Amino acid sequence: MGASSRVYKGRIGCRLRQSAVAIKMIDGFDKESTKAFCRELLIASSLRSPFVVSLVGYCIDRQGLFLVYKYISGGSLDRHLHQNDKRKKVLPWEVRYKVAVGVARSVEYLHFGTDRCVVHRDIKPSNILLSSKRSPMLCDFGLATWTHGPSLPFLCKAVKGTFGYLAPEYFQNGKLSDKTDVYSFGVLLLELITGRKALDQNQPQGDENLALWAKPLLLHGEDAMEKLVDPRLMPRAYCRNEMSRMVGAAHACLNAEDSTRPSMDQVVAMLLDEENACVQCSLFGGNGCLAGYCSQPYEPQEKWDVGGHLALAMLGVSDEEDDSCGR
């Protein structure tokens, strides 16, 4: 885990033009909390993507360290996918596929669309928010860190993240790279396909770990779709082509050896079908193009200059950005 924090809903702006925001308060002013705040601020302020929750401000005062993010009204994917209220509708397949593509694009952006490759380290349903139109946005960069570049691993003394999503080389040896995120994304794909949690003690003994349970089935590709698909979905209430792509992508992402996993730009190509930049599926209406998810180059965006403003927060803090990781 990273530094302890709490999130509040608030409003900013004048009386007639207020905007809802999510205010993340970092608990304490100790060395770990201050470093975590600075790192998250520097990373989040450098990100400009429709697939990432935007940082709109920050505050450093005697009451605490605060990061202010845009408020996303739809709630977390975890709430929609794993809710236990049988009176509520099951998350439909078209939304699940839309989420898979959108999150893939967000992680692709972190790895390839920024000046420095960013590894999120905690990709999971509770860190994915859905807009009112059910478009996914990646959030919570409390564990995020930089690497020297895609596929350039380094060692961490302290393993941080969530059990069930940790890549084996990271969990066992502290080896961290962009391929760590790729593995976590593979687990997320399984959750979208099956409706199951990454770790679920309510499953039969030996089947509690979703990735371990699904791996033998993934070897069979399309033949395993009926066994993998969420039983709460109506029979055939999904696009077989999309399901096939998601199963194939999950299989590739969950390779035990990090060097054999695809990069996130390759995962995006797998989900969208490498021969077509746009997703053509009647489930989305109109001409079938999933607007906003087509492959397109990343445009350079204006970035915040926050370096000078961090002087107060960095007082007494080592220049080393993270004592737990060595490069």
Q: Could you tell me if 21 and 136 lie in one domain?
A: no
Q: Could you tell me if 150 and 203 lie in one domain?
A: yes
Distance of CA 208 to the CA centre of its chain: 22
Determine the pLDDT at residue 234.
78
Number of domains in the chain: 2
Determine the pLDDT at residue 190.
98
Look at residue 47 and tell me if it is in a domain. yes
Determine the pLDDT at residue 289.
38
Look at residue 292 and tell me if it is in a domain. no
The catalytically annotated residue of 30, 61, 78, 122 is 122
CA–CA separation, 270 and 52 (whole Å): 21
Which ranges in 117-197 belong to alpha helices (H)? 168-173, 178-194
Q: Could you tell me if 277 and 161 lie in one domain?
A: yes
- Taking only the tens of pLDDT, the chain with its 327 residues reads 456 889 999 999 877 788 999 999 998 788 888 999 999 999 999 999 999 999 999 999 888 899 999 999 999 999 999 987 666 789 999 999 999 999 999 999 999 999 999 999 999 999 999 999 999 999 999 999 999 888 889 999 889 999 999 999 999 999 999 999 999 999 999 999 999 999 999 999 999 999 999 999 998 877 888 899 999 997 778 899 999 999 999 999 999 999 999 999 999 999 998 654 343 333 333 333 333 333 344 444 445 555 544 544 444 444 344 545 655
Look at residue 293 and tell me if it is in a domain. no
Closest CA to 98 of 279, 220, 263: 279
CATH of the domain at 212: 1.10.510.10
Q: What are phi and psi of 269, to 5 degrees?
A: -60, -40
Q: Could you tell me if 64 and 134 lie in one domain?
A: no
Determine the pLDDT at residue 288.
36
Q: Which residues pair with 18 in a beta bridge?
A: 13
Contact 101, 51 (CB under 8 A): no
Q: Could you tell me if 58 and 170 lie in one domain?
A: no
CA–CA separation, 176 and 325 (whole Å): 9
Q: Could you tell me if 241 and 166 lie in one domain?
A: yes
Contact 118, 110 (CB under 8 A): yes
Determine the pLDDT at residue 326.
55
258 is catalytic: no
SS3 19: strand
Look at residue 326 and tell me if it is in a domain. no
Look at residue 206 and tell me if it is in a domain. yes
Q: Could you tell me if 30 and 90 lie in one domain?
A: no
Q: Could you tell me if 222 and 206 lie in one domain?
A: yes
Look at residue 190 and tell me if it is in a domain. yes
Q: Could you tell me if 39 and 185 lie in one domain?
A: no
Q: Could you tell me if 213 and 137 lie in one domain?
A: yes
CATH of the domain at 39: 3.30.200.20
Which residues span the domain enclosing 212? 77-284
Q: Could you tell me if 9 and 90 lie in one domain?
A: no
Look at residue 313 and tell me if it is in a domain. yes
Q: Could you tell me if 60 and 169 lie in one domain?
A: no
